[in-house]
């Protein structure tokens, strides 16, 4: 009897040893969950894991007997086999379900990537800055963006093959998500068409820039003409008006200088050589002697006027000391630029020669 019991225990240990490689299936689900949460796991990792689980299930299904008989013992292993197989299949399903969910999410993000790319390159440029930026966007779309998006699409397809190889039934939403991404496969033709259309956009913007440049040249020519008219201006009586005209021209030149800088920037953006706009420098050079001339005239006129006012003030104080009533008047002396008779004004209106 003791010998039989010992043999039964030995056989029981052999049975347990036979099942030992597959016992892990009972609580493997927690490992599957941890595995699927690890975003560093790649396609090869998933395939190896699924293969390991499938092999274990295959052995349990084909090599584990439903009934184990010994000399003094009979073990019904069918339920154990079913449980191990069921746990293994649930783990495989959970693993591939995570793959399907990842594919669905990646496909949705891929579609958004294509949509954003389309929005960027289909914008209509309204100026030189937008034109050059858009040209760079379209060039990058052809060279980098579209190939990267297509590489992502092909990788998603490879992941779908993983689910297919392990007989995982994808849902309708899974197929719809990859189909939505597949509709962008031929988008490269849209990029090439956009490059052609962008040439027309460039031609239109360059034409507008050329019109603005020609208009600016015309405005500069008018400024030069207004400066050259000063060679015929020589009346001192018009001094204030001349100085106002000079100040106005200087403001126009300041604006013109800023316009030139902006124009040169725009020209550089479209690949043109910067225009010198010689009339701008010419106007500055021609205006300078006239500004100095009439500024000198104004200074010369202000000095005697200041002296006259000082003398008049002293005379008034002296008159008061002599007993002249406060309402008394002192006749104002004629000074250059002061008020006087018509003949005096004509005398004050002496003209200067040219320049």
Q: Which two tokens stand for residue 255?
A: 């604006």
Closest CA to 89 of 29, 18, 160: 29
Q: Kindly report the backbone phi and psi dihedral angles of residue 351, in degrees, each rounded to the nearest multiple of 5, phi listed first.
A: -105, 150
The answer for residues whose C-beta is within 8 angstroms of residue 25's C-beta and 6 or more apart is 53, 56, 57, 60, 84, 87, 88, 91
Assess whether pLDDT exceeds 70 at residue 27: yes
pLDDT score at 77: 76
Local confidence band at 303 (pLDDT 50, 70, 90 cut-offs): confident
Local confidence band at 286 (pLDDT 50, 70, 90 cut-offs): very high
The answer for residues whose C-beta is within 8 angstroms of residue 287's C-beta and 6 or more apart is 227, 230, 246, 249, 250, 253
Mean pLDDT is lowest, of 87-101, 149-163, 298-312, for 298-312
- pTM score: 0.69
Assess whether pLDDT exceeds 50 at residue 347: no
Local confidence band at 346 (pLDDT 50, 70, 90 cut-offs): very low
Mean pLDDT of 178-193: 95
- Say which DSSP state 22 is in: G
Q: Where are the alpha helices (DSSP H) in the chain?
A: 2-19, 29-37, 43-63, 78-121, 128-140, 146-165, 172-182, 188-228, 239-269, 278-321, 342-348
CA 332 to chain centre: 72
Closest CA to 112 of 101, 102, 120, 124: 120
Mean pLDDT of 82-97: 95
How long, in residues, is the chain? 355
Q: What is the CA radius of gyration of the chain?
A: 48
Question: Nearest-5° angle of CA 31, CA 66, CA 6?
Answer: 95
pLDDT score at 82: 92
What SS3 state is found at 179? helix
Query: How far is the CA of 142 from the CAs of 196, 285, 304, 307, in angstroms?
Result: 13, 51, 77, 80
98-152 pLDDT, tens per residue? 999 999 999 999 999 999 999 999 999 999 999 999 999 999 999 999 999 999 9
Assess whether pLDDT exceeds 90 at residue 55: yes
Question: Nearest-5° angle of CA 58, CA 61, CA 66?
Answer: 155
Q: Which two tokens stand for residue 294?
A: 């009439």
Query: How far is the CA of 122 from the CAs of 87, 112, 141, 203, 328, in angstroms?
Result: 53, 15, 11, 17, 85
Local confidence band at 302 (pLDDT 50, 70, 90 cut-offs): confident
Assess whether pLDDT exceeds 90 at residue 256: yes
Local confidence band at 295 (pLDDT 50, 70, 90 cut-offs): very high
pLDDT score at 76: 74
Local confidence band at 8 (pLDDT 50, 70, 90 cut-offs): low
Question: Nearest-5° angle of CA 233, CA 336, CA 287?
Answer: 30
40/42 Cα distance (integer angstroms): 6
The answer for residues whose C-beta is within 8 angstroms of residue 58's C-beta and 6 or more apart is none
Mean pLDDT of 40-64: 93
pLDDT score at 163: 92
53/123 Cα distance (integer angstroms): 51
């Amino acid at each position: 009897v003791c010998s039989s019991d010992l043999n039964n225990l030995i056989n029981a240990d052999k049975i347990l040893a036979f099942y030992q490689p597959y016992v892990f299936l009972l609580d493997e689900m927690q490992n599957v969950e941890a595995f699927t949460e690890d975003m560093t796991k790649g396609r090869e990792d998933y395939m190896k894991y699924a293969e390991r689980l499938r092999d274990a299930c295959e052995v349990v299904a084909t090599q584990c007997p439903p009934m184990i008989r010994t000399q003094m013992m009979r073990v019904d292993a069918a339920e154990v086999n079913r449980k191990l197989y069921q746990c293994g299949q649930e783990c495989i399903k959970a693993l591939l379900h995570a793959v399907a969910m990842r594919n669905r999410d990646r496909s949705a993000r891929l579609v958004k990537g294509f949509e954003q790319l389309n929005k960027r390159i289909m914008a209509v440029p309204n100026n030189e800055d937008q034109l050059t930026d858009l040209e760079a966007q379209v060039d990058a779309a052809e060279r980098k963006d579209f190939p990267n998006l297509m590489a992502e699409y092909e990788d998603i397809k490879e992941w779908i093959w993983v689910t297919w190889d392990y007989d995982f039934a994808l849902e309708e939403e899974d197929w719809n998500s990859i189909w939505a991404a597949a509709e962008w496969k031929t988008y490269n033709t849209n990029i090439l068409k956009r490059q052609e259309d962008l040439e027309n956009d460039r031609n239109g913007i360059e034409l507008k820039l050329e019109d603005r440049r020609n208009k600016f040249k015309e405005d500069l020519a008018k400024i030069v003409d207004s400066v050259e008219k000063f060679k015929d201006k020589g009346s001192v009586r018009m001094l204030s008006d001349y100085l106002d005209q000079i100040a106005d021209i200087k403001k126009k030149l300041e604006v013109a200088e800023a316009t030139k800088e902006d124009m040169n920037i725009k020209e550089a953006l479209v690949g043109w050589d910067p225009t010198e706009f010689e009339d701008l420098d010419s106007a500055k050079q021609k205006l300078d002697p006239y500004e100095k001339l009439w500024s000198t005239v104004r200074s010369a006129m202000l000095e005697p006027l200041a002296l006259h006012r000082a003398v008049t003030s002293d005379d008034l104080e002296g008159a008061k000391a002599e007993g002249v009533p406060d309402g008394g008047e002192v006749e104002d002396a004629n000074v250059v630029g002061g008020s006087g008779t018509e003949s005096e004004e004509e005398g004050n209106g002496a003209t200067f020669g040219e320049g």
